[in-house]
Amino acid sequence: MGDTKEKVFKGGGFLIEDVEAEDIITPEDFTEEHKMIAKTTEDFVLGEVVPKIDNLENHEFEHSVKLLKQAGELGLLGADVPEEYGGLALDKISSSLITEKFSRAGGFSVTHGAHVGIGSLPIVFFGNDQQKEKYLPVLATGEKLAAYALTEPGSGSDALGAKTTAKLNEAGTHYILNGEKQWITNSAFADVFVVYAKIDGDKFTAFIIERDYPGVSTGPEEKKMGIKSSSTRTLILEDAEVPVENVLGEIGRGHVIAFNILNVGRYKLAIGGVGSSKRALELSIKYANERKQFKTSISSFPLIQEKLASVAANTYANESAVYRTVGLFEQSMGDLSNEDLKDGQAVADIIAEYAIECSLNKVFGTELLDFAADEAVQIHGGYGFMQEYEVERIYRDSRINRIFEGTNEINRMIVPGTLMKKAMKGELPLLQKAEALQEEIMTMMPEEPGLATLEQETYLLKNAKKIALLGAGLSAQKYGEKLENEQEILVNIADMVGEIYNMESAVLRTKKAINKDGEAAHQQKLLYTQVYVQEAFNRIESHAKETLIAAESGDSLRMMLGALRKLTRHTPTNVIAKKREIAASLIKEQKYIV
């Protein structure tokens, strides 16, 4: 990345640090090459995959294999694979753009994502030289295809509760694995599976298993609600013989791999969510422009406009946040030596540093998609319920996103949990900040922000951070160790922190663009930001109130609510008017524009 002074931010640091517009990476920073890579991906998906979607939805997986090999020829499977193993070692923005553009392919994007992400990355990050040499070149071309097998019938979010066993044979040459792995993407055709099992019943360990090893088979194809273009089966291991050299990473430390891979899976799902939301929005606008009722296009109705504008503003905030996270990876990787970069573990460590951001992006990005898909069906009316219309499939395909790679509930829990851990370890001065804040609010006078561009939004953002800190600090004080039992409060904290990350990303992105080209060129960005910040702030206020009421009572509650009132006092933006303005541009351009 750039050679200018770049601050490296700690994961979760945005909650207490002041971040400048120039500190973050935004979509406006994409280079010509990034755009060319995105274009090739888009052209490939539109030209080759989309015409085959009916076949793919019908489980004709020979097309999946063929398409993946074609993608491999174009380099679309090698972005995250090091050059010495036949990959392209592209930056994370490039691989993210590939993910975003693949989202147009519906369930096939899950096939692609599982192969390049959770299937190949464990070997990229944690494989030894022999394993990398053996598997990565053929995975990067698509000659061999990969899958990832963690979930079991009895263990989903509780991954370490897996029952699959591994036992060294007497000769000491092979591990013998027994168990069942459930809902394995790509299992109809994958050649290589990354599988977790417990050696001697307790040492949770990852293995690379080839399809043709003795004792490896798959069950029947699952009948799913959505993403039907992807293959999902059970992987059955019956005395499966796995050579000892196929242990991935260290024995007993499979959880390190599992958690790191989840982080990657999470931010990539968020990118896919943003991509699909843009598609749902585009379909919605075009339909609303064409569909006439009462002799007028339904896009001329303010209520349809409100839906279009809400989806667009939310898309903008999430797009800003998720590419900011990708930018954080890039900025950190800029500090690594070439040697470090070759070591997958160093890259995985960087991604792990931003586990909070990954979880937030996952939660908000997938919920954005559910919202966009739902409104798209609604705008299509009865037609949206019919399978001839793409939005019907988008609606069904969307639903799994809130469930896999850690349910959104689990991901929400991760956010305050990780923040607390970082505070305890002294990595983030959260507790100090919270204490200082408690003193500050006693004497604080409400401010009235000025009228300059984004001044109000910047002010609301600053106060939102204080409100989140107030709620989190109070809860930590009140419940201490037992806070983990207060899941409703934890979720409120996660939601406040997530809203802040999205708000701030939108504000900073818009500021950065305006600093560069002036305000006139970025009216749409400005409107999105004003709408999102106002609505997010309202939600934060409500989460904070609920949290305070649950944690406090009597006089101290009244005092806390008084502090909250001071922090939330402002003259709100007229979002109805702003949304009409947003919609006018969308209706004219017939797609998501910034």
Partner 1 sequence: MNIFVLLKRTFDTEEKIVIKNGQIEDDGAEYIINPYDEYAVEEAINLRDEHGGEVTVVTVGEEDSEKQLRTALAMGADKSVLINTEDDLEEGDQYTTVKILEAFFADKEADIILAGNVAIDEASGQVGPRLAERLDIPCITTITDIKVDGENVNIERDVEGDVEKIETSLPLLVTCQQGLNEPRYPSLPGIMKAKKKPLEELELDDLDLEEDDVEQKSRTTEIFLPPEKEAGKVLEGESDEQVKELVSLLKTEAKVL
Judged by the rule CB under 8 A, the positions of this chain that interact with partner 1 are 32-33, 36-37, 39-40, 43-44, 47, 73-76, 78-79, 88, 90, 94
Q: Which is nearer to partner 1, 71 or 490 (CB)?
A: 71
- DSSP structural state of residue 404: S
Residue type (1 letter), 237: L
Calpha distance 329→27 (Å, rounded):
15
- Of 57, 100, 367, 405, which one is the catalytic site residue? 405
Q: Report the C-alpha dihedral over residues 8, 14, 17, 19, rounded to 10 degrees.
A: 70
Helix axes 408-424, 430-443, angle to 10 degrees: 90
Asked if 37 and 80 count as a contact pair (C-beta separation under 8 A), the reply is no
The burial of 594, by beta-carbon neighbours within 10 Å (0-12 exposed, 13-18 middle, 19 or more buried), is given as middle
Residue type (1 letter), 221: E
Q: Please say if 405 is a catalytic residue.
A: yes
| Nearest CA among 365, 387, 388, 407 for reference residue 103 | 365
Phi, psi of 273 (to 5 degrees): -60, -40
Q: Which pair of structure tokens corresponds to residue 224?
A: 């799913």
Least separation in angstroms between residue 522's CB and partner 1 is: 12
Asked if 72 and 245 count as a contact pair (C-beta separation under 8 A), the reply is no
Q: Which is nearer to partner 1, 42 or 221 (CB)?
A: 42
Least separation in angstroms between residue 459's CB and partner 1 is: 32
Asked if 391 and 384 count as a contact pair (C-beta separation under 8 A), the reply is yes
Least separation in angstroms between residue 285's CB and partner 1 is: 13
Least separation in angstroms between residue 92's CB and partner 1 is: 14
Q: Which is nearer to partner 1, 290 or 440 (CB)?
A: 290
Least separation in angstroms between residue 325's CB and partner 1 is: 22
Q: Which pair of structure tokens corresponds to residue 418?
A: 């990780």
Q: Which is nearer to partner 1, 74 or 441 (CB)?
A: 74
Least separation in angstroms between residue 290's CB and partner 1 is: 14
Q: Which is nearer to partner 1, 88 or 341 (CB)?
A: 88
Asked if 1 and 24 count as a contact pair (C-beta separation under 8 A), the reply is no
Least separation in angstroms between residue 48's CB and partner 1 is: 9
Calpha distance 308→579 (Å, rounded):
8
Least separation in angstroms between residue 293's CB and partner 1 is: 18
Residue type (1 letter), 351: I
Q: Which is nearer to partner 1, 31 or 128 (CB)?
A: 31
Q: Which is nearer to partner 1, 36 or 436 (CB)?
A: 36
- 237 in helix, strand or coil? strand
Calpha distance 264→358 (Å, rounded):
8
Calpha distance 189→367 (Å, rounded):
30
Residue type (1 letter), 60: E
Q: Which pair of structure tokens corresponds to residue 434?
A: 């919270």
Q: Which is nearer to partner 1, 101 or 543 (CB)?
A: 101
- 177 in helix, strand or coil? strand
Residues annotated as part of the active site? 405
